[in-house]
Structure 1
Amino acid sequence: MTNIAVFGANGTIGSAIVREALDRGHTVTAVVRDPAKVTERHANLSVTTGDVLDTQSVTAAAKGHDVLVSAVGGGDGPGHVATIKPAAIALTEALRTLGGQALRLITVGGAGSLRTPDGKQVWDAPGLPDFLLPIMHSHGDALDYYRTVTDVDWTSISPAAMIEPGTRTGGYRTALDDLVIDGDGNSTISVEDYAVALLDEIERPAHHRQRFAVGY
């Protein structure tokens, strides 16, 4: 059993990570701004208030845990996009305070910076909705920052180009910096199977201080 603290636990991806972790028998602390918004109930789940942009708040929430998961992203609107890299900095500084390598940081990354078969990056594709580009580049900026960090045990997991709630199959494929694409040229994964991949990485660490991608 692993003690896991999850920032952004009431979001679409964060809540799936919480459920997957609980189903596997882990102990989970949901760290959110408003505990009333966490509707999940479980004997191994506790809820606490925390601010992912405040290093002291992150430090307090992370104490006593083995893994810190950040499911903080920009999908909730323009105001949230600006939090992605500052959150990465606050999370890293908090883990440094707690000893760096003693506690793992797993972050939900973005797909925008992944390579496509033509050698470009996802965010270079024509016709992307305007609202997506700032989110993609903010995740890219956060990843660039993480790649300068050598004294904290971090892992960033990028989803497929399309991630949405669906079915938990337990199956997925991985790559490092390349978009995971199926035989028909599609890049998809359900939120539920993304959570499976993230918990598999917690239970069987394979990507220390690396980004990797998941998809079908």
Structure 2
Amino acid sequence: MTNVLILGATGRTGVSVLQQLSTYEYIQVIAAVRQDSDISRLPKTKSPIQTKPVDINNISSLHCAVEKADIVVNAIRMRGDIPETTLLEFDKRIRKAADGRKNLVIITVGGAGSLKMSNGKRFWQDVAFPERTLPRGRAHSRLRDYLETLPSPKSWAYLIPPPAYIPNGLRVGSYQRWDASNDEMSFLKKSISYEDFATAVCDAVRERWEGVHFIAGENLPT
């Protein structure tokens, strides 16, 4: 049995990941919630899931959540004017809470702000990047840079949706995947639904993906 802890389980992406992962008999889904009352916001599933109240800013609370997890899916979407180090510090906090376990894998829902442009800049630095999500764009760029310096890619995977990330898009049931490069501008024209992106996250869990991956829809406009 593979134990998968989902952080951000009540969010749009987290809900889709939770529903799809719960269909696999060999996966035990553990949904992290901020408080017990949030359990009512979780979707109905055919297979039973476990829940765990977690304070993501508290090491002891995180330790209780991750101590039995084989894989952590970080689908938390932090909002507001967050410092640019917020996401990488959170990743470090999860690893510290896991007591340095080398077999723990963290799969993170990434951000398009970290995409590399042909001029050497990142997409968050481009005039086309939405100003309201600028803090998150900077933070995702810092997180990606940090992850790519880790000695072993086996401990993490970072999945990036395109800027056209469609909340109410249909689930086609397929997607395309690309690896990182020095010029990722063509990916800016892609799109994908939340449901299909969640399918890619589930495949990353089941197949233990490593490193940075770009995920876009096959049958959606590009």
Query: Under a length normalisation based on structure 1, what TM-score does the superposition of the two structures give?
Result: 0.84
Give the whole-Å Cα distance in 2 for the aligned partners of 1:110 and 1:196. 17
Give the whole-Å Cα distance in 1 for the aligned partners of 2:105 and 2:215. 19
Sequence identity (%): 26
Tell me the CA shift for residue 138 of structure 1. Answer: 0.5
Instruction: Tell me the equivalent position of 1:130.
Output: 131
Tell me the CA shift for residue 80 of structure 1. Answer: 8.8
Contact residue 6 and residue 28 of structure 1 kept, 8 A: yes
Kindly provide the amino acid, as one letter, of the partner of residue 140 in structure 1: S
Q: CA RMSD in A?
A: 2.5
Asked if 1:30 is matched to 2:34, the reply is no
Residues 186-195 or 41-50, more deviating: 41-50
Equivalent residue of 2:192, what SS?
A: strand
Give runs of aligned pairs for residues 24-103 of structure 1, distance below 5 A.
24-25=24-25, 26-37=27-38, 38-42=41-45, 43-74=47-78, 76-78=79-81, 83-95=86-98, 97=99, 99-100=101-102, 102-103=103-104
Asked if 1:203 is matched to 2:203, the reply is no
Give the whole-Å Cα distance in 1 for the aligned partners of 2:173 and 2:63. 32
Contact residue 53 and residue 86 of structure 1 kept, 8 A: no
Aligned with residue 161 of structure 2, among 143, 159, 162: 159
Instruction: Tell me the equivalent position of 2:220.
Output: none
Equivalent residue of 2:189, what SS?
A: coil
Tell me the CA shift for residue 40 of structure 1. Answer: 1.9
Tell me the CA shift for residue 98 of structure 1. Answer: 5.2
Change in Cα spacing, 1:94 to 1:148, as seen in structure 2 (3 Å) is farther
Number of residue equivalences: 209
Instruction: Tell me the equivalent position of 2:7.
Output: 7
Provide runs of 4+ in structure 1 moved above 6 Å: none
Change in Cα spacing, 1:105 to 1:62, as seen in structure 2 (3 Å) is same
Change in Cα spacing, 1:54 to 1:144, as seen in structure 2 (3 Å) is farther
Give the whole-Å Cα distance in 1 for the aligned partners of 2:118 and 2:23. 36
Unaligned runs of 5+ in 1: none
Give the whole-Å Cα distance in 1 for the aligned partners of 2:104 and 2:49. 19
Change in Cα spacing, 1:167 to 1:23, as seen in structure 2 (3 Å) is farther
